[in-house]
Structure 1
Amino acid sequence: MSDSARQGDAPIVATSSGTVRGLWRGTDADRSAAFLGIPFAQPPVGGLRFAAPVPVEPWTGIREATTFGATPQRGPVAEVTLIPEPSVPGEATLNVNVFTPRPGDSAARLPVLVYIHGGGYVSGSPASPWYDGESFARDGLVTVTVSYRLGFDGFGLIDGAPSNRGVRDWLAALDWVQREITAFGGNPDAVTIAGQSAGGGAVLTLLGMPAAQHLFHRVWALSPALGDVSRERAWSVATQLADLAGVPATRDGFATVDPDVLIGLQQKVSERGGSRLSGIRTLLDDGLPWGPMIDGDLLPTATPESIAAGIGADKPLVVGATDDEFTMITDDARARFRFVPAALALAILGVDRPTRRAYLADNAQQHRLGTAALLGRYVSDKVFRSGVAQVAAARGTAPTWVYRFSWASTRIGWACHCVDVPFWFDVLDRDRVDALTGENPPPSLADAVHGAASAFVRDGAPGWAPWSDEPGRTRVFDDTGPGDVADGYRSLRSLL
């Protein structure tokens, strides 16, 4: 470790934009440093609000990097996430956090993990205690967590503004990693990108993006939710938003709307009235309103098509999902669904008769738990799990590993959305973990999941047989211990 890293008993690192001072955490052999809120681009406000990210202006002296930077998330959205993701006020929302065991040691060249948070592309924050890289630092890895523009500011189609501004933020952050991570002890030639939910969709989007290929080397996608919003849908929701705001659907028009007001209005565009089943069908039919858009520029085609065409085939990929991502939502309405036959509910969701019959046959065990459980599994399969199998198949012989997270929360009762995240980061002792997992989540499961993640970041293989060698081969993570099955996603074959 360099002398500069120890100056003033605080870790100090010189970047090309200026010097930053972080803080030490842990003791003795487990001691590592955190550098929080380092800007990778100028604040996206004023004339830069709907612009592509602009390089940060250099500073003089030592910049304190001991508290999280501002986040794009504001208001009540922060209260509804399963993961605690605090909103931090301020304008400098394009920033990164770095967790490293070897700050200032440019010769260390440790493998690097870059994590992109989820939140449906409209919420989330890298300031979550669940995204702390301390456990990865203990394993000799450098972790970077990324902030990016959300919702309409990040992904809305605006006449006169560059498309996919949130995607451009990811690219700018990854470019920052390439330039600066050596000074934090990292190796820019060994970068793994990872994310969960929308973050999982983000890293798959990057995997299939020709313009991003030089910025990373491996990918781990947890419960990926792809955007792949069509230009037509993006324009439809943009004009709806403009009508609600009473402004033209142009850059100048939207610039007059306060960001917090716009967040409230975009929520109205996203909401749909009617029954719970009709709301689910809207999600299945239309997809997410905000997210990476197929713009013919950064995203020439839909991500699965790009991957099937061989984009990113040189990069190892791990992809998987929890067994019941969505089931806790339908489970809340199980009394309402009690007397609705599952076949009828699937028909209301637009599932044709042959598919209904095949799906019910392949999911008989879930069906026995009731219509609510069956519907939850179906939506989980359509939104998350079928994409896992499709992407794995599209990769062909490119190195690909697939998993399922099957441990059911003792509080929620299902292997639900987000429950795998504290195991992946090995942060079972952090704030609000037990609110999702229940009391005493199994540390052995965290050892298995986090150990696989660390092995992949370090060595490029997570420790089980790849799907690309044996199509269907799936690692199952449960409290009985990890094990492999020959066809882990067989139950959704009728949807593929």
Structure 2
Amino acid sequence: MSLDTGVVLMGLGNDPHGISLVRETPCGPVEGVLIGGVERFLGIPYAAAPVGRNRFAVPTLPEPWSETLAAGHYGPTAGQVPYSGALGTLLPTVVIPGDACLNVNVFAPAKRTSGLRPVLLWIHGGSLQHGSNALPGYDGTAFARDAVVFVAANYRLGAEGFSLLEDAPPNLGLADVIAALEWTRANIASFGGDPEQVTLMGHGAGGTMVAALLAHPRASSLFARAIIQSAPLTALPLSRARRMTQRIAKDLGIEATREEFSARTPAELLASHLRVAADSTPLNGGPAHGLAIEPLLVPRDPLEAMLAGAGMDIPLLIGTTTQELRLWLGPTGRGAKVSRVHLAVARRKAGISKDAQRLYGRNRPGAGPGEILGALATDKVLRVPMYTLADARRYAEGQTQVYEFAWHSPVQDLGAAHRMELPFVFDNLGTKDAAGLVGEEAPQSLATAMHEAWVCFATLGYAEWPHWDIRRPVKTFNGLGNDVVFSPRDDEAGAIC
């Protein structure tokens, strides 16, 4: 029995585990499963396993296969260590052993039409050291249900993906993302997706990589639209980006070369990373891996490049949560430990004026130093650069839409913290992982509204609220009216500049 050309059903009936089906791809046949009107193909390699001669090297195409590849279960994940402490309970980790971590998951609508469907390619966050496409929260069923072909990609993390070695290419994790984009362009039609209508979507560190690719000269040949969620828009100079590599090399007593790093197992590099980055968080600015500005993939700081006109022809949906830093302040107890002295020191280090600190305090009666520090840092690192970019794109007639997620989670004083919007965007409030972040009574109406907006953008290239203009419209997802607010907290944004 066949659904359409290139699809072969392997079983019938009401099996709760679904019906097996096979699709032909340029690399070879893959066998997935049909469940509830959604086709799921998991763990498909988009590049060769990054081991042996492929370790600390740019990704290469996987060897084609002739026998059917089983794609009914998630593939291996990139090497990582789970979050610790309070964050470990909020941000679960899935670790699946195996070498072939450079894989994608595809969720596609089973019901076919005469045309191809829009595609959404998801790049997860996690500070370039956590996360994978196997996390339950990144299940793409809701997007496929709404006629979008959803692809989620893994990439190399930590030392394997972002070391700066003397004789190895830099930014390998970003090179992996490019390889996933190229795989999508070459293969997605086999799953009913349109290779000319790919939206690249990333959160946190994944969003930073989207920004880097949006600024890349080849951007328009790789994807048609972009979504950046809660992400810094900048990369690091080589001297700063190299610090983590140098610390790991010193810790292990080796040189920062490909030969010496390759002689160490991934587990040894992970253990070293844990030692040298102990207690490092986005709040304290401790050592961490980051995107590096280098001639090949990131020839210029992404924000500077975009302000100068890069990527202006690509529609952009971009936004933040209202209280990004609260993820590292509330559950961990760090926020309560921030004193006025800590606040003053952090403010001066960030180049924020005392007048700005006073303004933020007046606008938040009763707020402690930790809350004020979180608001200042959120705006300095994320909101003000985002507004600056949106203004530049407006002057260049680029299409930009801005949102803010303002609904407050009742869980562990999270409020509208970093990552709180994801269960709503993915419309999966019913999952255990989502409940751990947003509680069991989060408003489905908010999930419906956000998910529909993302589907609309991926499908049409715009959501239903006004494009950024002189009024600075911000769609505010608060679970109440979800109104468009014009120039929200403009006094604070002006004080930070």
Length-normalised TM-score, structure 2: 0.91
- Equivalent position of 2:411 in the other structure: 411
Between the aligned partners of 2:279 and 2:411, the Cα distance in structure 1 is: 29
How has the CA–CA distance of structure 1 residues 63 and 226 changed in structure 2, closer, same or farther, with 3 Å as cutoff? same
Post-superposition offset of 1:351: 2.4
Contact 2:28 2:65 in 1 (8 A): yes
Matches of 1:251 and 1:328, distance apart in 2 = 35
Query: In the alignment, is the contact (CA less than 8 A) between 1:229 and 1:290 conserved in 2?
Result: no
Match of 2:484 in 1: 484
* Equivalent-residue separation in structure 2 for 1:334 and 1:219 (angstroms): 33
Selected match of 1:76 from 79, 82, 99: 82
Question: Residue 62 of structure 2 is aligned with which of 53, 56, 59?
Answer: 56
CA distance in 1, matches of 2:164, 2:439: 41
Aligned to 1:315: 314
AA of the residue aligned to 2:381 = V
Equivalent residue runs for 1:330-341 within 5 Å: 330-331=329-330, 332-337=333-338, 340-341=339-340
Q: 2:8–2:23: 8 Å Cα contact kept in structure 1?
A: no
The answer to whether the Cα contact below 8 Å between 1:280 and 1:349 also exists between their aligned partners in 2 is: no
Counterpart of 1:16?
26
Shift of 1:412: 3.2
Using the TM superposition, give the Cα deviation of residue 230 of structure 1 relative to its aligned residue in structure 2, in angstroms: 1.2
Structure 1's 271 and 225: CA in aligned 2 closer, same or farther, altered over 3 A?
farther
Residue 294 of structure 1 corresponds to 293
**Is 1:108 matched with 2:115?**
yes
Q: SS of the residue aligned with 1:466?
A: coil
Letter of the aligned partner of 2:94 in structure 1? P
Q: Offset of 1:120 from its aligned partner?
A: 0.3
Structure 2: gaps of 5 or more residues: 12-19
The answer on whether the counterparts of 1:171 and 1:212 sit within 8 Å (CA) in structure 2 is no
What is the distance in 1 between the residues matched to 2:5 and 2:24?
Answer: 12
Once residues 329 and 165 of structure 1 are traced to their aligned partners in structure 2, the CA distance between those partners, rounded to angstroms, is 28
Cα offsets for 1:160-209 (capped at 9, x unmatched): 11111111100000000000000100000100011111111111111111
| Partner Cα distance (2:84, 2:173) in 1 | 19
Aligned to 2:15: none
**TM-score of the superposed pair, with normalisation by structure 1:** 0.91
For 1:250 and 1:294, the matched residues in 2 are separated by: 19
Aligned to 2:345: 348
Partner of 2:248: 241
Q: For residues 286-305 of structure 1, give each alpha carbon's deviation from its aligned partner in whole angstroms, at most 9, with x where no partner exists.
A: xx631221012211110111
How far apart, in 1, do the equivalents of 2:66 and 2:457 lie? 38
Contact 2:117 2:194 in 1 (8 A): yes
Q: In the superposition, relative to structure 1, how do residues 454 and 363 fare at CA in structure 2: closer, same or farther (>3 Å)?
A: farther
2:159 aligned residue (152, 158, 164): 152
CA distance in 2, matches of 1:130, 1:335: 30
Q: Where does structure 1 lack aligned partners over 5 or more consecutive residues?
A: none
Measure the CA separation in 2 of the matches of 1:34 and 1:253. Answer: 40
Kept in 2: contact 1:367–1:374 (CA 8 A): no
3-state SS of 1:22 partner: strand
Question: May I ask how many residue pairs the two structures share in their alignment?
Answer: 478
Q: After TM superposition, where is structure 1 displaced by more than 6 Å over at least 4 residues in a row?
A: none
Contact 1:327 1:375 in 2 (8 A): no
Residue equivalent to 1:448? 449
Return closer, same or farther for 1:137/1:177 CA change in 2, 3 Å cut-off. Answer: same
Aligned residue for 1:461?
A: 462
- Aligned equivalent of 2:285: 282
Distance 2:379 2:48 in 1: 40
**Residues 344-383 of structure 1 aligned to structure 2 (within 5 Å):** 344-351=341-348, 355-362=353-360, 364-383=362-381
Q: Which amino acid aligns with 2:323?
A: D
Tell me which amino acid in the other structure corresponds to 1:451: E
1:163-202 to 2 correspondences below 5 Å = 163-202=170-209
The 1:57/1:107 distance shift into structure 2, 3 A limit, reads: farther
Q: Does residue 256 in structure 1 map to residue 266 in structure 2?
A: no
